[in-house]
Structure 1
């Protein structure tokens, strides 16, 4: 008997910037056929910075949440702005409560491992039973596993594999309760 498809997909095997670009491309395609919630990371675009953290962009309304503290050109340090991530997580929780087919959360990293960042949004999606697409910073795999095992599957950073995962969750017509018509089927 086939094992049921896990509702959380973790994309690994590529640098974070490439994974975020992949998430942006996939969500642009998927938005026409489903209700998406969540946030995807975007670069801050500032030259000569050691910190690559930039913004989290909402998939529902395009709002940008800063997740970095700019220490100036030439700075060797990187300071994440947990406040921006917490505001983004609250917005994603509202979007989940309003109803969605998929939640995309850019990454489970330092803030989430410490109990902050997007962690509440992950929890809200899991509690609501909504599929989640994310990535996990290599340094925080153990924290992720403690948080989400056995709910996830690891996928390579390949659009066709991620698309196949998403299609497998959406395809069963039997999953739609009797009397309910789904706009995305």
Structure 2
């Protein structure tokens, strides 16, 4: 089972890192499936709209809800997230060298969201890279049975991890 995660320290840094890593791999001809977050700042609210790009070619889907300026708490639109999950699952079966999931978040910790797609990819022998925050680290560790590797939040470290997988797969073929 080849599953790894990365945690970048700044707000939105994991999103930028995974998006850039996915673009780099796709430019090399690697078949990448999954979703990366591409946020945009909402006009005057101080909050960002959460947009996710389905890999490799889109679409981009807004997964946040506008709950008004006084709203607190989670703005995730669970229906939009499930739409993204369905698109990623369908593309996974067309073949992939890597599944990238922008975040193992609250929904995944609760058994929903990308959780079944991650399990599906692993059962197909497709490596998985997940963005994570420390709030969901314990749930992710339980989900991955403690077998996930932590990769430092740098494109070079992600590249070395992926190249190591390709070397392992080539040696076993």
Same fold at TM > 0.5: yes
Structure 2: runs of 5+ lacking an equivalent = none
Q: TM-score, normalised by structure 2?
A: 0.89
The whole-number CA distance in structure 2 between the counterparts of 1:68 and 1:149 is 30
The answer on 1:23 being equivalent to 2:23 is: no
Q: How many pairs align?
A: 170
Partner of 1:68: 64
RMSD, aligned CA: 1.8
**Cα gap change, 1:15/1:53 in structure 2, threshold over 3 Å: closer, same or farther?**
farther
2:143 is matched with which residue: 147, 150, 163?
147
Runs of 4+ aligned structure 1 residues displaced above 4 Å come to 50-53
The whole-number CA distance in structure 1 between the counterparts of 2:85 and 2:152 is 25
After TM superposition, the structure 1 stretch with the greater mean CA deviation from structure 2, 96-105 or 126-135, is 126-135
Deviations 1:128-176 (A, max 9, x none): 1211111222111111111112331011111111110000011243334
Structure 1: runs of 5+ lacking an equivalent = 1-5, 177-185
The answer on 1:160 being equivalent to 2:156 is: yes
The whole-number CA distance in structure 2 between the counterparts of 1:34 and 1:55 is 23
The whole-number CA distance in structure 2 between the counterparts of 1:174 and 1:134 is 25
Offset, 1:49:
3.5
The whole-number CA distance in structure 2 between the counterparts of 1:52 and 1:136 is 18
Partner of 2:165: 169
Offset, 1:116:
1.5
Flag the structure with larger Rg. Answer: 1
